Structure 1
Amino acid sequence: MSLGDDEYRPDSTDDGRSVGRQTRTRLPERTGGDPYGGGRRTARPSKSMVTVMGVVVLLVAAIAFANRGGGDSSGTDSGRDGAARPTAPTGEKPVPGSDGGIAKGFPKTGQGAQSAAANYAVALVSADILKPDRRQEIVRQLFVDERVGELEAKLDRAYSEEFLDGLGLDPDGNAAKGMTYVSRTAPVGTRTTESTDTTTTVEVWCTGAFGTAGVSSTNPVANDWFTMTLKLRWSGGDWKVESFSQKEGPAPVNNDRQASDADEIAKAVEEYGGFTYAR
């Protein structure tokens, strides 16, 4: 799914997250009894793949609309060498607590800002963001005060009952009985592109699993890769979001690995919890 401050434009490749993009999924082909199909071949689009593409584009359009008109969060390099920083232990104390499962109280340091951005990216692309009550809590916790009202109204319009119904969810954002809606994001890395005493812009490279797990699901769970850019401001003793955007990739080549069935995916979501990210 996609979040961003830019207006929705099909097939755009700017800082609006994956605006109008299509997800390409490579699936293994089988021939006879050979489980590897006699070698890898280019997969032809299947009906399920087309459905996944449609759902991803739908999510992109909704969230791009939700944040339309915000500030520009497409950070540019501010003179740093651009090299990746190792995520080795630093000796810094972890955050002092959490609110609704989202870490809070990040230190006013570069590492603190990157940790905040990684945790916020997970929350902003979670299944909870589709639930009206939980969405209100997330927005009020993550964003600077002056943007809360605006974002609440836009997200409520974007995640309308009609939109949720298109995902197979009820007005409260819940999947039908026997189904599990999956929207799980995992940050792969972070980097700071701009920084002042009170503001910083962080890019978070993410992967994730998105879709509905269930025997009769028409929106199978698929993998996605994207980069979220968050402009943060130090406010009230913590890092808060001023604006954010997303774009697709960088994405590796998919392995020809057999996909798990719906029950296995649903069970994994229930049994494996998320992480609090820190550097």
Structure 2
Amino acid sequence: MSPDDERGYGGPGRTDDPYSTIGGTRQTRTRLPDSEGEGYGTARRPARASRSLVMVVGVVVLLFAAIAFANMGGDGRGGDGGSGKPGSTPDSSSTAATGTKPVTGKNGTIPSGFAHDEQGAQSAASNFAVALGSIEMFGADTRQTIVRATHDPAVVDNLLTDLAKAYSPGFLQNIGLDGNGTAPDGLTFVSRTVPVGTKVVEHTGDTATVEVWCTGLVGLAGPDSTKPVTASWFTVTEKLKWIGGDWKIESSSQSQGPTPVNGDNRASTADEIAGAVKGYGGFTYAR
């Protein structure tokens, strides 16, 4: 789920080829199911293509897996990576509760009111990655709502302009959606980012750089789909700024991996995937 000289979004991610921290822990944990949404995909590495999506004042959009998906062919019917940046190493208490209450606020459908510390920055980065890798990013109105809720107001307008070009009618058609980002009858479009862990690279009071290791699902679920739901692994690096009493994204980038070896799980049928998409909701992430 990163571009060089051009802007885009990755998260899943795209290229052309395709919340004090207590006890020294810096990992992300899940709270409660939050909303219904998409489901699972077969663990499969996406195809690569050349890099070339629009760039936005230092903000890279999560579009990597969807572009790989778009390049799989058909009309929608019938490695190790990471940034390698230094950061704190998790200890044996990585999965222990911090004692700090999770966020309870909401900015629309997106969690808000994150703590003004490293823990809050990690939680914010994780939840932002989830929102930016969701199916709502494929609709113009919902995309605008997500971008305005997660980003520094200073970068929003330029970002939205370039994203409108990235999610062009041609691109949407290539991944099997109509101009409104809607899947054809009988098919369910899946786009979901799932954070696996976080690492604080830098924290200086009102700014923070957080890496979020993720797996992403993207594809069309249904009996006639020629672009089945697939999985990708990537790391999103978010530069956050404390603005108006909450964390916001100033810029972000993405790199492939770290990618584990695929297991021997049987690939689910199209009906099983479609059922999972409708039956399993997402999460609010917090330490």
**TM-score, with structure 1 as normaliser:** 0.77
After the TM superposition, which segments of 4 or more aligned residues of structure 1 sit over 6 Å from their partners?
A: none
Q: State the Cα distance separating 1:19 from its structure 2 match.
A: 4.5
Q: AA paired with 1:101?
A: T
Per-residue CA distance 1:20-53 (angstroms, 9 max, x = gap): 557xxxxxxxxxxxxxxxxxxxxxxxxxx9xx84
Change over 3 Å in CA distance of 1:264–1:175 after alignment to 2 = same
Q: Does the CA-based 8 Å contact 1:6-1:69 persist in structure 2? A: no
**Aligned-partner Cα distance in 2 for 1:197–1:204:** 19
Change over 3 Å in CA distance of 1:164–1:260 after alignment to 2 = same
What SS class does the counterpart of residue 131 from structure 2 fall into?
A: helix
Q: Does the CA-based 8 Å contact 1:231-1:241 persist in structure 2? A: yes
Give the total of aligned pairs.
235
Q: Which has the higher contact order (CA 8 A, sep 6+)?
A: 2
Q: 1:72-221 residue pairs with structure 2 within 5 A? A: 76-77=85-86, 81-83=88-90, 86-221=94-229
Superposition CA RMSD, Å: 2.6
The structure richer in helix per residue is 1
Query: Which residue of structure 2 lines up, in the alignment, with residue 66 of structure 1?
Result: 54
The structure richer in strand per residue is 2
**Aligned-partner Cα distance in 2 for 1:18–1:153:** 17
Per-residue CA distance 1:99-151 (angstroms, 9 max, x = gap): 33210110101011000000001111111111111000000000001000011
Q: AA paired with 1:155?
A: L
Q: Gaps spanning 5+ residues in structure 2: where?
A: 8-12, 19-41, 61-82
Q: Does the CA-based 8 Å contact 2:16-2:53 persist in structure 1? A: no
What SS class does the counterpart of residue 119 from structure 1 fall into?
A: helix
Q: Does the CA-based 8 Å contact 1:170-1:176 persist in structure 2? A: yes
**Aligned-partner Cα distance in 2 for 1:172–1:114:** 32
**Aligned-partner Cα distance in 1 for 2:144–2:286:** 25
**Aligned-partner Cα distance in 2 for 1:140–1:68:** 14
**Aligned-partner Cα distance in 2 for 1:274–1:257:** 22
What SS class does the counterpart of residue 206 from structure 1 fall into?
A: strand
**Aligned-partner Cα distance in 1 for 2:133–2:59:** 20
Whether 2:257 is the aligned partner of 1:249: answer yes
**Aligned-partner Cα distance in 2 for 1:76–1:225:** 17
Change over 3 Å in CA distance of 1:69–1:144 after alignment to 2 = closer
**Aligned-partner Cα distance in 2 for 1:172–1:71:** 24
Q: Please point out which of 250, 272, 282 is paired with 1:264.
A: 272
Per-residue CA distance 1:148-203 (angstroms, 9 max, x = gap): 00110010000000100001101111100110010111111000001111100000
Q: Does the CA-based 8 Å contact 2:46-2:232 persist in structure 1? A: no
Change over 3 Å in CA distance of 1:207–1:235 after alignment to 2 = same
Q: State the Cα distance separating 1:222 from its structure 2 match.
A: 0.6
Per-residue CA distance 1:5-24 (angstroms, 9 max, x = gap): 64359xxxxxxx675557xx
Change over 3 Å in CA distance of 1:197–1:75 after alignment to 2 = farther
**TM-score, with structure 2 as normaliser:** 0.75
Q: State the Cα distance separating 1:57 from its structure 2 match.
A: 4.1
Q: 1:12-23 residue pairs with structure 2 within 5 A? A: 19=15
**Aligned-partner Cα distance in 2 for 1:119–1:141:** 11
Q: Does the CA-based 8 Å contact 1:8-1:19 persist in structure 2? A: no
What SS class does the counterpart of residue 53 from structure 2 fall into?
A: helix
Q: Does the CA-based 8 Å contact 1:18-1:247 persist in structure 2? A: no
Fraction of identical pairs, as percent: 50
Q: Does the CA-based 8 Å contact 2:46-2:231 persist in structure 1? A: no
Change over 3 Å in CA distance of 1:234–1:75 after alignment to 2 = farther
**Aligned-partner Cα distance in 1 for 2:95–2:46:** 34
